[in-house]
């Protein structure tokens, strides 16, 4: 796939098929993501991918309603700034209008962790600074583009890193690391929610070039 096509075709899938992803494909995706830039080449990231029985344990625990907040602070509306709040309102209104009577499906799929057959958990050392989170953002985006280039879709979501105490236990992650974000990976169902596309700002809304 051409790079620009890969970028333009990547979007958040919110309902996946149960079809598993081959281990070698998961390894290739993460290996490609490891080429992402990082400050002073520190490469602070670690990745744990949950599939099979481990993922079903996490999914069942999540569905039971034991919602311990993520280890990263949640991003609340009031801390997003005006631009972020405006874009959130447009997205929320757009997706609810698009789904109509099927709106509850989105929340049910969220509770089931979007039915993803694999979740890539991106970990960071507990002692972090803003440069470290920048590095992880670059890594996560590269991971999702690498997946899309192989015909595998994705969604990054906070829901994946709820109940972190349980995640540490099930996935054998020491307390030296925190669960920053999870990225669901898989093949999309032919579901209405997967046909939604969010609006993106026009270039003049966020770019300034000074001579």
Residue 92's pLDDT band, with cuts at 50, 70 and 90, is: confident
Q: What pLDDT shows up at residue 127? A: 87
Q: What pLDDT shows up at residue 70? A: 93
| Residue 149 pLDDT > 80 | yes
Q: What pLDDT shows up at residue 135? A: 96
pLDDT digits (tens, 9 = 90+) for 2-51: 999 999 999 999 999 999 999 999 999 999 999 999 999 999 999 999 99
Beta-carbon neighbour count of residue 190 at 10 Å? 8
Q: How large is the average pLDDT for residues 121-145? A: 95
Q: How far apart are the first and last CA of the chain?
A: 35
Measured CA to CA, the distance from residue 7 to residue 151 in angstroms comes to 12
Measured CA to CA, the distance from residue 211 to residue 207 in angstroms comes to 13
Mean pLDDT of the chain: 93
Query: How many CA within 13 A on the CB side of residue 49?
Result: 22
The CA-atom distances, in angstroms, between 84 and each of 88, 136, 209 are 6, 21, 21
């Amino acid at each position: 796939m051409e790079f620009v096509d890969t970028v333009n075709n990547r979007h958040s899938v919110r309902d996946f098929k149960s079809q598993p992803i081959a281990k070698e494909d998961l390894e290739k995706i993460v290996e490609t993501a490891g080429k992402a830039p990082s400050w002073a080449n520190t490469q602070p990231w670690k990745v744990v991918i949950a599939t099979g029985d481990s993922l079903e344990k996490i999914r069942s625990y999540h569905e039971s309603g034991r919602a311990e907040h993520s280890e990263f602070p949640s991003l609340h509306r009031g801390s997003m700034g005006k631009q972020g709040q405006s874009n959130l309102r447009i997205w929320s209104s757009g997706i609810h209008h698009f789904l109509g009577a099927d709106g509850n499906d989105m929340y049910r799929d969220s509770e089931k962790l979007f039915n993803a057959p694999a979740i890539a958990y991106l970990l960071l050392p507990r002692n972090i600074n803003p440069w470290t989170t920048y590095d992880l953002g670059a890594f996560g985006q590269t991971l999702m583009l690498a997946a899309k280039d192989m015909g595998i879709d994705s969604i990054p979501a906070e829901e994946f890193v709820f109940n972190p105490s349980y995640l540490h236990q099930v996935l054998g992650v020491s307390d030296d690391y925190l669960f920053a974000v999870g990225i669901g990976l898989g093949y999309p169902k032919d579901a209405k929610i997967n046909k939604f596309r969010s609006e993106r700002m026009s270039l003049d809304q966020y770019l300034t070039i000074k001579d």
